[in-house]
Amino acid sequence: MLKFLKQVSDYTKEAVQAAKYIGQGLSVTFDHMHRRPVTVQYPYEKLIPSERFRGRIHFEFDKCISCEVCVRVCPINLPVVDWEFNKETKKKKLNHYSIDFGVCIFCGNCVEYCPTNCLSMTEEYELATYDRHELNYDNVALGRLPYSVIHSDPMVQPIREFAYLPKGVLSGHDLPAGSRRAGKLPEDILAEMEASEAKK
Protein backbone atom coordinates (compact mmCIF):
# COMPACT_ATOMS: atom_id res chain seq x y z
CA MET A 1 0.00 0.00 0.00
CA LEU A 2 2.76 2.40 0.96
CA LYS A 3 4.65 1.51 -2.14
CA PHE A 4 1.58 2.23 -4.21
CA LEU A 5 1.10 5.58 -2.49
CA LYS A 6 4.70 6.46 -3.13
CA GLN A 7 4.25 5.63 -6.78
CA VAL A 8 1.18 7.83 -6.94
CA SER A 9 3.01 10.73 -5.32
CA ASP A 10 6.01 10.26 -7.60
CA TYR A 11 3.72 10.26 -10.57
CA THR A 12 2.05 13.46 -9.41
CA LYS A 13 5.42 15.07 -8.84
CA GLU A 14 6.53 14.13 -12.32
CA ALA A 15 3.35 15.50 -13.83
CA VAL A 16 3.77 18.78 -11.97
CA GLN A 17 7.39 18.95 -13.02
CA ALA A 18 6.48 18.33 -16.65
CA ALA A 19 3.90 21.11 -16.45
CA LYS A 20 6.53 23.40 -14.94
CA TYR A 21 8.97 22.67 -17.75
CA ILE A 22 6.34 23.29 -20.39
CA GLY A 23 5.56 26.58 -18.66
CA GLN A 24 9.22 27.54 -18.71
CA GLY A 25 9.46 26.67 -22.39
CA LEU A 26 6.38 28.75 -23.12
CA SER A 27 7.87 31.72 -21.32
CA VAL A 28 11.04 31.41 -23.38
CA THR A 29 9.02 31.34 -26.58
CA PHE A 30 6.97 34.27 -25.37
CA ASP A 31 10.11 36.18 -24.52
CA HIS A 32 11.29 35.77 -28.11
CA MET A 33 8.13 37.43 -29.35
CA HIS A 34 9.17 40.92 -28.34
CA ARG A 35 12.71 40.73 -29.59
CA ARG A 36 13.49 42.62 -32.76
CA PRO A 37 13.31 40.53 -35.90
CA VAL A 38 16.69 39.80 -37.42
CA THR A 39 15.23 39.75 -40.91
CA VAL A 40 17.07 41.48 -43.73
CA GLN A 41 14.54 42.26 -46.46
CA TYR A 42 16.83 40.86 -49.08
CA PRO A 43 16.30 42.43 -52.48
CA TYR A 44 15.69 45.81 -50.85
CA GLU A 45 18.27 45.50 -48.11
CA LYS A 46 21.57 43.69 -48.43
CA LEU A 47 24.19 42.79 -45.89
CA ILE A 48 27.62 44.28 -46.53
CA PRO A 49 29.98 41.34 -46.79
CA SER A 50 32.77 41.26 -44.24
CA GLU A 51 36.38 42.21 -45.03
CA ARG A 52 37.63 38.71 -45.59
CA PHE A 53 34.55 37.53 -47.45
CA ARG A 54 35.36 35.02 -50.15
CA GLY A 55 33.10 35.89 -53.04
CA ARG A 56 33.47 35.58 -56.78
CA ILE A 57 37.15 35.51 -57.87
CA HIS A 58 38.53 38.44 -59.82
CA PHE A 59 41.23 37.84 -62.40
CA GLU A 60 43.60 40.32 -64.03
CA PHE A 61 44.62 39.03 -67.43
CA ASP A 62 47.72 41.21 -67.88
CA LYS A 63 49.31 40.23 -64.61
CA CYS A 64 49.06 36.51 -65.19
CA ILE A 65 52.28 34.67 -66.02
CA SER A 66 50.57 31.35 -66.77
CA CYS A 67 52.53 29.61 -64.03
CA GLU A 68 49.59 27.29 -63.25
CA VAL A 69 50.15 27.48 -59.51
CA CYS A 70 46.44 28.15 -59.12
CA VAL A 71 45.69 24.90 -60.88
CA ARG A 72 48.09 22.97 -58.70
CA VAL A 73 46.83 24.34 -55.39
CA CYS A 74 43.21 23.99 -56.36
CA PRO A 75 41.64 20.95 -54.64
CA ILE A 76 40.08 19.90 -57.93
CA ASN A 77 42.42 21.56 -60.42
CA LEU A 78 39.62 23.81 -61.51
CA PRO A 79 41.15 26.87 -63.27
CA VAL A 80 41.70 26.33 -66.95
CA VAL A 81 44.88 28.09 -68.13
CA ASP A 82 45.23 28.11 -71.90
CA TRP A 83 48.70 29.36 -72.89
CA GLU A 84 51.26 28.84 -75.64
CA PHE A 85 54.99 29.19 -75.58
CA ASN A 86 56.24 32.17 -77.49
CA LYS A 87 59.60 31.11 -78.89
CA GLU A 88 60.73 34.60 -79.73
CA THR A 89 60.36 36.08 -76.28
CA LYS A 90 60.79 32.67 -74.62
CA LYS A 91 57.80 33.37 -72.45
CA LYS A 92 54.41 31.81 -71.99
CA LYS A 93 51.64 33.78 -73.59
CA LEU A 94 48.23 33.45 -71.98
CA ASN A 95 45.35 32.95 -74.38
CA HIS A 96 42.39 32.15 -72.16
CA TYR A 97 41.73 31.69 -68.48
CA SER A 98 38.49 30.43 -66.91
CA ILE A 99 37.06 29.25 -63.61
CA ASP A 100 33.76 27.43 -63.31
CA PHE A 101 31.99 28.85 -60.26
CA GLY A 102 29.42 26.08 -60.42
CA VAL A 103 32.22 23.78 -59.21
CA CYS A 104 34.45 26.15 -57.26
CA ILE A 105 34.23 25.87 -53.50
CA PHE A 106 35.68 29.34 -52.84
CA CYS A 107 38.46 27.96 -50.68
CA GLY A 108 40.74 30.77 -51.76
CA ASN A 109 43.87 28.67 -52.27
CA CYS A 110 44.46 30.06 -55.77
CA VAL A 111 44.26 33.62 -54.43
CA GLU A 112 46.63 32.70 -51.62
CA TYR A 113 49.29 31.19 -53.84
CA CYS A 114 49.12 33.37 -56.94
CA PRO A 115 52.69 34.76 -57.26
CA THR A 116 51.65 37.92 -59.11
CA ASN A 117 48.43 38.64 -57.19
CA CYS A 118 46.44 38.50 -60.39
CA LEU A 119 43.72 36.56 -58.58
CA SER A 120 41.72 38.19 -55.81
CA MET A 121 38.51 37.62 -53.88
CA THR A 122 35.59 40.01 -54.32
CA GLU A 123 32.54 40.58 -52.19
CA GLU A 124 30.16 39.56 -54.96
CA TYR A 125 27.91 36.69 -53.91
CA GLU A 126 24.87 36.89 -56.18
CA LEU A 127 25.88 34.25 -58.67
CA ALA A 128 22.49 32.68 -59.39
CA THR A 129 21.81 31.91 -63.05
CA TYR A 130 19.27 29.98 -65.02
CA ASP A 131 21.86 27.75 -66.63
CA ARG A 132 24.81 26.26 -64.81
CA HIS A 133 27.04 26.72 -67.83
CA GLU A 134 26.72 30.46 -67.39
CA LEU A 135 28.74 30.03 -64.21
CA ASN A 136 31.78 29.05 -66.20
CA TYR A 137 33.45 32.48 -66.20
CA ASP A 138 36.11 33.22 -68.82
CA ASN A 139 38.85 35.80 -68.45
CA VAL A 140 36.57 38.62 -69.58
CA ALA A 141 33.87 37.77 -67.07
CA LEU A 142 36.48 37.22 -64.38
CA GLY A 143 37.93 40.62 -65.08
CA ARG A 144 34.70 42.55 -64.61
CA LEU A 145 34.35 44.96 -61.73
CA PRO A 146 32.56 43.22 -58.85
CA TYR A 147 29.09 44.25 -57.76
CA SER A 148 29.20 46.31 -54.62
CA VAL A 149 26.34 46.41 -52.13
CA ILE A 150 27.17 49.95 -51.12
CA HIS A 151 27.73 51.61 -54.46
CA SER A 152 25.99 49.68 -57.20
CA ASP A 153 22.26 50.20 -56.70
CA PRO A 154 20.59 53.23 -55.11
CA MET A 155 17.46 51.13 -54.41
CA VAL A 156 19.43 48.81 -52.16
CA GLN A 157 19.81 49.69 -48.52
CA PRO A 158 23.14 48.33 -47.32
CA ILE A 159 22.96 46.78 -43.85
CA ARG A 160 25.97 46.17 -41.64
CA GLU A 161 26.63 42.77 -40.29
CA PHE A 162 26.51 42.04 -36.58
CA ALA A 163 30.27 42.30 -36.06
CA TYR A 164 30.39 45.76 -37.63
CA LEU A 165 27.80 47.39 -35.39
CA PRO A 166 28.55 49.83 -32.58
CA LYS A 167 28.78 48.39 -29.11
CA GLY A 168 25.40 47.35 -27.67
CA VAL A 169 23.52 47.69 -30.97
CA LEU A 170 21.92 44.48 -32.21
CA SER A 171 20.27 45.54 -35.44
CA GLY A 172 21.83 47.09 -38.50
CA HIS A 173 18.67 49.03 -39.34
CA ASP A 174 18.48 52.79 -38.78
CA LEU A 175 22.04 53.31 -37.63
CA PRO A 176 22.99 56.95 -37.04
CA ALA A 177 25.35 58.29 -39.68
CA GLY A 178 29.03 57.93 -38.88
CA SER A 179 28.57 55.36 -36.14
CA ARG A 180 31.66 53.23 -35.81
CA ARG A 181 31.89 49.57 -35.16
CA ALA A 182 32.92 48.28 -31.77
CA GLY A 183 36.64 47.89 -31.11
CA LYS A 184 39.52 49.15 -33.20
CA LEU A 185 39.49 49.29 -36.97
CA PRO A 186 42.22 47.35 -38.80
CA GLU A 187 43.90 50.55 -39.91
CA ASP A 188 44.00 51.79 -36.32
CA ILE A 189 45.64 48.59 -35.19
CA LEU A 190 48.12 48.87 -38.02
CA ALA A 191 48.93 52.47 -37.16
CA GLU A 192 49.43 51.57 -33.50
CA MET A 193 51.66 48.69 -34.44
CA GLU A 194 53.77 50.90 -36.67
CA ALA A 195 54.03 53.55 -33.98
CA SER A 196 55.24 51.03 -31.41
CA GLU A 197 57.69 49.60 -33.91
CA ALA A 198 59.05 53.07 -34.53
CA LYS A 199 59.50 53.65 -30.79
CA LYS A 200 61.70 50.63 -30.53
Q: What are the residues binding other proteins (CB under 8 A)?
A: 3-4, 7-8, 10-11, 14-15, 22, 25-26, 28-30, 32-39, 41
CB of 105 to other proteins, least distance (A): 29
**Distance from C-alpha of 125 to C-alpha of 46, rounded to nearest angstrom:** 11
Pick 30 or 130: Cβ nearer other proteins: 30
**Distance from C-alpha of 130 to C-alpha of 10, rounded to nearest angstrom:** 62
CB of 174 to other proteins, least distance (A): 15
**Secondary structure class of 13 (helix, strand, coil):** helix
CB of 164 to other proteins, least distance (A): 20
**Distance from C-alpha of 189 to C-alpha of 86, rounded to nearest angstrom:** 47
Provide the b/e sequence for 62-99 (b: ≥16 CB within 10 Å): eebebbebbeebbeeebbebebeeeeeeeebebeebbb
Pick 32 or 87: Cβ nearer other proteins: 32
Pick 44 or 61: Cβ nearer other proteins: 44
Pick 29 or 89: Cβ nearer other proteins: 29
Pick 136 or 171: Cβ nearer other proteins: 171
Amino acid at 188: D
User: Is the Cβ–Cβ distance between 124 and 142 less than 8 Å?
Assistant: no
CB of 38 to other proteins, least distance (A): 5
Pick 44 or 85: Cβ nearer other proteins: 44
Q: Which of 54, 46, 30 is nearest to 150 (CA)?
A: 46
Distances (CA, A) of 141 to 78, 134, 137, 144: 16, 10, 5, 5
CB of 21 to other proteins, least distance (A): 10
Beta strands at 157-159 and 45-47: parallel, antiparallel or unpaired: parallel
CB of 64 to other proteins, least distance (A): 45
